[in-house]
Structure 1
Amino acid sequence: MRVWKQLLISLGVISAGVLLWGRFVPGANDMLEAAGLPSTLVAAIAPAGEGGADGGREGGRGGGFGGGPALVATKPVAMAVVNDRLNAIGDGEAIRSVTVTPYATGNLTEVLVESGDRVEQGQVIARLDSDEQRIAADQARVARDSAAQKLARLQALRSSTSIAELQDAETALKAAELALRNAELALRRRDITAPYGGVVGIISVNPGDYVTTSSAIARIDDRSEILVDFWVPERFATSVRVGGDVTATAVARPGETFTGKVQAIDNRIDQESRTLRVRARIANPEDLLRAGMSFQVTMRFAGDFYPSVDPLSVQWSADGSYIWRVKGETVERVPIHIVQRNPDKVLVRAELAEGDQVVTEGLQTLRPGGAVRTVAQQEQQTPTVTEGS
């Protein structure tokens, strides 16, 4: 057979196949239009009036291949909420924490506390050698007493004492008193005290050690309350408020929940992580929590409500995603914008109301305005056969 005859036969077979495909395959009309073919050619290949191609677009009631209502399964639209809960990991710190250092240099003569002891504000926790300072304080006290006696004698002999001598004596007494106060201050600073109450950490110094003003004597934590710093995603930045309720669970104490309040919020978003730093304050009256613990922090908000549909109902086209909604005895195509996809449901932004029936099965033959019959309707219409009838 000549080549040109073979080409004509092949072209005829292909043309016949395209015509059959256009008339009997659902969606052929839409696919050809989306491909950019002229409307006249699309009408010739897949006429809109054909039940298998686009039955129902011109007002036809046919939804299936046979022209009757298409059998579909549906599920109702539910309302779901997102952004109503925040979970974050935070780090705990004592409400107050300080590393105690001496005011002066010298050798330690006593360490009066042990690791884990609870101390009160002003309690002496260690002492430096103070012999030199005691002598200096005694000397200053003697000088003060001598100046006071001299002024008293001059005041007793006021009639024979000039005003200048009295003023000099008064000045000398004031200078002696200041010198005594300075000596007593230097003596007091040989005692290393706790600036506030708390629990003493591990002590790394011993009596006899020479320490300076930068030497760490002890670390004291006031853990009557715990500060928890955590980071929240940027989308929650406008929802978090100072004073908001917080619940926290310590990783070291699973099953126990602690409550607190938001104490502070940072003034800017971290540009690298796109998160906001938040600090919560949690009461610790039973001293169950420790500084440095890791916490699972939870906050609740009003959240945003969206329609929720079954994942099987979501379809896609060149115009985007959509679903089929049953309206009476027909279906209509509703465009949607997916907000959140979960394994069991999809949250969408669309003109849907709670309870609307959305098609989940039998989607292949649906057309806008096409007649449908739901599985539930068919079951109601099927007569029940009883025994003995």
Structure 2
Amino acid sequence: MRIWKQLLLCLVVLAGALALWVYLVPSAGGTLTKMGVPGEVIAAVIPRTSAQPAPAPAGGASGNAAARPQGEGGAQNGQRGAGGQGGNRATLVVTQPVAIGTVNDRLSAIGSGQAIQSVVVMPQASGTVNEIMVTSGQKVTKGQVLARLDDEEQTIERDKARVALASAQEKSASYKNLQSFSRLDVFDAQIAEQAAKLALSTAELNLRRRDIVAPIDGIAGIVAVNIGDNVTTQTNVVTLDDRTAILVDFWAPERFAVAIEPGQPVEASSIARPGQVFSGKVEAIDNRIDPASRTMRIRARVENPGDVLRAGMAFNVGMRFAGERYPAVDPLAVQWDGEGSYVWQVRDNKSVKTRVRVVQRNPDAVLVGAELKDGDRIVTEGLQRVREGAPVRISGAPETAEVARQ
């Protein structure tokens, strides 16, 4: 496209825009008059209507201009008056009553269980296993023989000790009855008799130690040896667990250190027995706080009726306490500023800023430390429009005469 065509097109667009501006903007006539456009041209371009008065002389135009600001000022004054009247109206808010919540009233921890007594049975002598008289899962009693080692040598030693004792006793009796022996010979014979008795006791003890017996009542685990195995005093033969009760060790936070006492009730549940709760009590409390985890070790005794619990199980342990009571407010009500957290409290249909200290934050409520009572109204919605001491109206509540006057 040639340059003159482009210029012509630009002039047409500008003329159209000017005409549209003149037609749509009522004050266009006055603006054109100030720019020096003749009144006849303006009259030809802008048709006279009731909404658009004809252009007036410069004096008249200035008079109209002076009249217009006065009208605008009057409208602004009217708006300020309406705004001032609206500023005195009560702000509509939504409130919720303060409730009382409890903190530190329940302890929940994971613990590990162990049998009330657990013993690893080992031989008291070295030798070869000749007989095993216990099976895995068998209930045994204290003193019951679980296995035997070879005892031929020990049997012979016992028999020899018996013969020696019989000989010593006969010699001692002969020395006592005959007067031909000195008192010293009789005394030596008595000492030999006592030594023979001790030798027999030693031989019998060595023979008894060839029997591996149960030191406690309990349930046998898996037997770790077989017949023919050579064992020593360090060999684990079998494990016995007395699980009439289970000891559960768990760790409690430091804040419960003073609240927990021996004998307090405990509830324990196991993953292996879902839905079943076992009762128990605190058996022992450690004497110090772990500085790394800031927790304290607690041991609870849980009864095991029916023998359904096993050592090594994981338990969910729960304890209840009196706890500490604090006001509970809606999480939306807590606001923050440069001085800390606060809530808007409604007193006598007016908003009052009340400082609070957050104690515990829960999904449905926040426990705070503040001068709040049960049932006090706290603003939860409309917080952006609330001001200190300003009148408020609770949504859903009837508007009182005092609020209406304000």
The verdict on a shared fold, with TM-score over 0.5 as the criterion, is yes
Deviation at 1:342, TM superposition (A): 1.4
Q: Deviations over 1:160-212 (max 9, x none)?
A: 22110110011000111001100000000000000011000011211110000
Unmatched tracts of structure 1, length 5 or more: 1-61, 382-389
Name the residue aligned to 1:208: 228
Q: Deviations over 1:10-37 (max 9, x none)?
A: xxxxxxxxxxxxxxxxxxxxxxxxxxxx
Deviation at 1:274, TM superposition (A): 1.4
Q: Partners in 2 of 1:351 and 1:191 — Cα distance? A: 75
Alpha-carbon RMSD across the aligned residues, in angstroms, is: 1.6
1:329 partner amino acid: N
Aligned with 1:109: secondary structure? strand
Say whether residues 1:376 and 2:396 are aligned partners.
yes
Name the residue aligned to 1:272: 292
2:195 partner amino acid: A
Deviation at 1:361, TM superposition (A): 1.4
TM-score by length of 2: 0.76
Deviation at 1:237, TM superposition (A): 1.3
Name the residue aligned to 1:136: 157
Q: Residues 85-100 of structure 1 correspond to what in structure 2 (within 5 A)?
A: 85-100=106-121
Name the residue aligned to 1:153: 174
- The alpha-carbon distance between structure 1 residues 314 and 64, as it changes in their structure 2 partners (threshold 3 A), is farther
Q: Deviations over 1:91-130 (max 9, x none)?
A: 0100000110001000000000111111000000000000
Among candidates 167, 171, 190, match of residue 170 of structure 1: 190
Aligned with 1:127: secondary structure? strand
Aligned with 1:247: secondary structure? strand
Instruction: Tell me if the contact between 1:64 and 1:366 (Cα under 8 Å) persists in the aligned partners.
Output: no
Instruction: Tell me if the contact between 2:393 and 2:399 (Cα under 8 Å) persists in the aligned partners.
Output: no
Instruction: Tell me if the contact between 1:307 and 1:347 (Cα under 8 Å) persists in the aligned partners.
Output: yes
Q: Deviations over 1:41-100 (max 9, x none)?
A: xxxxxxxxxxxxxxxxxxxxx999532111111110000001100111110100000110
1:276 partner amino acid: M
Aligned with 1:364: secondary structure? helix
Q: Partners in 2 of 1:72 and 1:236 — Cα distance? A: 41
Deviation at 1:269, TM superposition (A): 1.2
Q: Deviations over 1:356-385 (max 9, x none)?
A: 01111122222222111111323799xxxx
Aligned with 1:173: secondary structure? helix
Q: Partners in 2 of 1:249 and 1:316 — Cα distance? A: 42
Say whether residues 1:220 and 2:220 are aligned partners.
no
TM-score by length of 1: 0.80
Among candidates 63, 68, 74, match of residue 89 of structure 2: 68
Name the residue aligned to 2:141: 120
Instruction: Tell me if the contact between 2:127 and 2:149 (Cα under 8 Å) persists in the aligned partners.
Output: yes
Q: Residues 35-50 of structure 1 correspond to what in structure 2 (within 5 A)?
A: none
Say whether residues 1:308 and 2:328 are aligned partners.
yes
Instruction: Tell me if the contact between 1:64 and 1:365 (Cα under 8 Å) persists in the aligned partners.
Output: no
Q: Partners in 1 of 2:224 and 2:349 — Cα distance? A: 83
Instruction: Tell me if the contact between 1:63 and 1:69 (Cα under 8 Å) persists in the aligned partners.
Output: no
Aligned with 1:168: secondary structure? helix
Q: Partners in 1 of 2:399 and 2:365 — Cα distance? A: 26
Q: Partners in 2 of 1:189 and 1:65 — Cα distance? A: 102
1:257 partner amino acid: V
2:175 partner amino acid: L
1:123 partner amino acid: Q
Aligned with 2:383: secondary structure? coil
Deviation at 1:255, TM superposition (A): 0.6
Instruction: Tell me if the contact between 1:79 and 1:306 (Cα under 8 Å) persists in the aligned partners.
Output: yes
- The alpha-carbon distance between structure 1 residues 71 and 190, as it changes in their structure 2 partners (threshold 3 A), is same
2:102 partner amino acid: V
Percent pairwise identity? 55
Instruction: Tell me if the contact between 2:343 and 2:355 (Cα under 8 Å) persists in the aligned partners.
Output: yes
- The alpha-carbon distance between structure 1 residues 64 and 122, as it changes in their structure 2 partners (threshold 3 A), is farther
Q: Larger % of helix: which?
A: 2
Name the residue aligned to 1:43: none
Say whether residues 1:103 and 2:124 are aligned partners.
yes
What is the aligned length?
A: 319
Name the residue aligned to 2:350: 330
Aligned with 1:149: secondary structure? helix
Q: Partners in 2 of 1:241 and 1:63 — Cα distance? A: 65
Larger Rg: 2
Instruction: Tell me if the contact between 1:63 and 1:70 (Cα under 8 Å) persists in the aligned partners.
Output: no
